[in-house]
Chain A
Amino acid sequence: MNAKKWDKVATAVLTGIAGLIVLLLACLLGYILVRGLPHVTWQFLTKPAQTFTKGGGIGVQLFNSFYLLILAMVISIPLSIGAGIYLAEYAPKNWVTNVVRTAIEVLSSLPSVVVGLFGFLVFVIQFKLGFSILAGALVLTVFNLPLLTRNVEDALKSIHFTQREAGLALGLSRYETVKHVVIPEALPNIITGMILGAGRVFGEAAALIYTAGQSAPSLDFTNWNPMYIASPLNPMRPAETLAVHIWKINSEGIMPDATAVSAGASAVLIIAVLLFNWLARVIGKRVYRKMTAA
Chain B
Amino acid sequence: MDPIKASLLKKSRAAKSETRGKLISLVCISLIVFIVLAIFYFVASRGLATFFKDKVSIGRFLTQSTWNPSLKDSHGHPEVGALPMIMGSFGVTFLAALLATPFAIGAGIFMTEISPKRGEKLLQPVMELLVGIPSVVYGFIGLSVIVPAVRHLFGGSGFGILAGTCVLFVMILPTVTSMTVDALKSVPRHYREASLALGATRWQTTWKVVLKAATPGILTGVVFGMARAFGEALAVQMVIGNAALLPHNLITPASTLTSVLTMGMGNTVMGSLANNALWSLALLLLLMSLLFNLLVRLIGRKGAMNR
Chain A interface residues toward B at CB < 8 A: 3-4, 6-7, 10-11, 13-15, 17-18, 20-22, 24-25, 28-29, 31-32, 35, 78-83, 85-87, 89-91, 99-100, 102-107, 109-115, 117-118, 120-122, 125, 142, 145-146, 149, 171-176, 178-179, 196, 199-200, 202-206, 209-210, 214, 243-244, 246-247, 250-251, 259, 262-263, 266, 269-270, 273-274, 276-277
Tell me the minimal C-beta distance from B304 to chain A in angstroms. Answer: 15
Residue of B nearest to A91 (CB): B29
Contacts of A244 in B (CB 8 A): 136
Would you call A111 and B26 a contact (CB within 8 A)?
A: no
Would you call B106 and A14 a contact (CB within 8 A)?
A: yes
A13 to B119, CA, bound (A): 15
Which has the most chain B C-beta neighbours within 10 Å: A28, A79, A120?
A: A28
Contacts of B14 in A (CB 8 A): 171-173, 176
Interface size range on B against A: 35 or more
Tell me the minimal C-beta distance from A208 to chain B in angstroms. Answer: 10
| B9 on the A face (CB < 8 A) | no
* CB < 8 Å neighbour of B29 from A100, A117, A274: A100
| B141 on the A face (CB < 8 A) | yes
CB-contacts of B257-307 with A (<8 A):
258, 261-263, 265-266, 270, 279, 282, 285-286, 289-290, 292-293
Would you call A246 and B35 a contact (CB within 8 A)?
A: no
| B110 on the A face (CB < 8 A) | yes
Which has the most chain A C-beta neighbours within 10 Å: B42, B137, B201?
A: B137
Interface of A is mostly: helix
* CB < 8 Å neighbour of A17 from B26, B103, B129: B103
Question: Residue-by-residue, is B31-68 near A (CB-CB < 8 Å gives 1, otherwise 0)?
Answer: 11101111100110010000000000000000000000
A10 to B205, CA, bound (A): 12
Would you call B139 and A210 a contact (CB within 8 A)?
A: no
Would you call B107 and A210 a contact (CB within 8 A)?
A: no
* CB < 8 Å neighbour of B289 from A109, A125, A209, A259: A109
Which has the most chain A C-beta neighbours within 10 Å: B39, B130, B231?
A: B39
Contacts A105-B293, A176-B18 given: A250-B143 contact, CB under 8 Å?
yes
Q: Which of the candidate stretches B76-84, B183-191, B214-222, B232-240 sits at the interface with the other chain? A: B232-240
Residue of A nearest to B263 (CB): A251
Would you call B126 and A22 a contact (CB within 8 A)?
A: yes
| B202 on the A face (CB < 8 A) | yes
Chain B interface residues toward A at CB < 8 A: 14-15, 17-18, 20-22, 24-29, 31-33, 35-39, 42-43, 46, 102-103, 106-107, 109-111, 114-115, 119, 122-123, 126, 128-130, 132-137, 139-141, 143-145, 170, 173, 177, 200-204, 206-207, 224, 227, 230-234, 237-238, 258, 261-263, 265-266, 270, 279, 282, 285-286, 289-290, 292-293
Would you call A110 and B286 a contact (CB within 8 A)?
A: yes
What are 7 inter-chain pairs, A to B, with CB distance below 8 A? A21-B103, A21-B107, A32-B141, A82-B25, A114-B43, A247-B139, A251-B263
Would you call B32 and A104 a contact (CB within 8 A)?
A: yes
* CB < 8 Å neighbour of A11 from B114, B137, B173, B207: B114
Tell me the minimal C-beta distance from B274 to chain A in angstroms. Answer: 15
* CB < 8 Å neighbour of B18 from A13, A125, A173, A277: A173
Contacts of B46 in A (CB 8 A): 121
Contacts of A31 in B (CB 8 A): 141, 145
Contacts of A117 in B (CB 8 A): 43, 261, 265, 279, 282
Contacts of B135 in A (CB 8 A): 203, 205-206
Interface of B is mostly: helix
Would you call A103 and B36 a contact (CB within 8 A)?
A: yes
Tell me the minimal C-beta distance from B13 to chain A in angstroms. Answer: 9
Residue of A nearest to B122 (CB): A22
Tell me the minimal C-beta distance from A1 to chain B in angstroms. Answer: 12
Would you call B132 and A7 a contact (CB within 8 A)?
A: no
A270 to B133, CA, bound (A): 6
A106 to B227, CA, bound (A): 11
Would you call A25 and B43 a contact (CB within 8 A)?
A: no
Contacts of A266 in B (CB 8 A): 136-137, 140-141
Would you call A103 and B32 a contact (CB within 8 A)?
A: yes
